[in-house]
Amino acid sequence: MTEPSTDTRSTAKWMFVLAWACLFGLLVIIFGDLLEQQVNPNQAPVSLRSGEQVEIRLEQNRQGHYVVSGTINEQPVVFLVDTGATSVAVPAHLADELGLQRGRSGLASTANGTVRIYQTEIAKLGIGAITLYNVDANINPGMQSDHILLGMSALKQLEFTQRGKTLILRTL
């Protein structure tokens, strides 16, 4: 029996490393999707229609928050429902991508202290089959997250009810 050549052993070693790298990449994709589902269990919100009224039921995430995928000006975004926020708050690093113009500046008191914000208006905001138009918002340079706070300037246009770990959003 002959010994395998150095080239054969080197090739086998690289094939083994490549196989492990592929397996690791696959695990990252699978577990990344599982983690995202835990953060945002409402990635594809289901809309129920009853006549002209539309209803969406949101599940709480593991931290007890309501996070939901939606759109601003037809661009995909992720909202964090925040009934304590006066208006929709958009991180400044997302504002340009979403086609939002910075308007008059002002100061706002937030959980992180006082920050300078810029008024703006969202032409079209969507969650499932619910669409809101001309929603007052602000651009907040202090926000580092990619989540947009869905505040009362949007929520006041809806009826919302919490039952257990479900938040029901319904058009008026």
pLDDT tens digits for range 43-74: 999 999 999 999 999 999 999 999 999 999 99
**DSSP at 42:** B
Burial class (CB in 10 A: 0-12, 13-18, 19+), 170: middle
List of residues 6+ apart from 108 with CB closer than 8 A: 114, 115, 116, 117, 138, 140
The whole-angstrom separation of Cα 67 and Cα 59 is 8
Query: What pTM did the predictor assign?
Result: 0.79
**DSSP at 43:** S
Rg (CA), the chain: 23
Query: 170 is written with which tokens?
Result: 């319904």
Low-confidence ranges of the chain (pLDDT < 50): 31-32, 34
Say what the pLDDT of residue 10 is. 80
Amino acid in the structure at residue 62: R
The whole-angstrom separation of Cα 82 and Cα 148 is 9
Measure the CA angle with vertex 149, ends 124 and 92; round to 5°. 80
**DSSP at 170:** E
Strand blocks (E) in 26-165: 47-50, 53-59, 67-72, 75-81, 88-91, 105-110, 113-127, 130-140, 147-150, 158-163
Say what the pLDDT of residue 117 is. 97
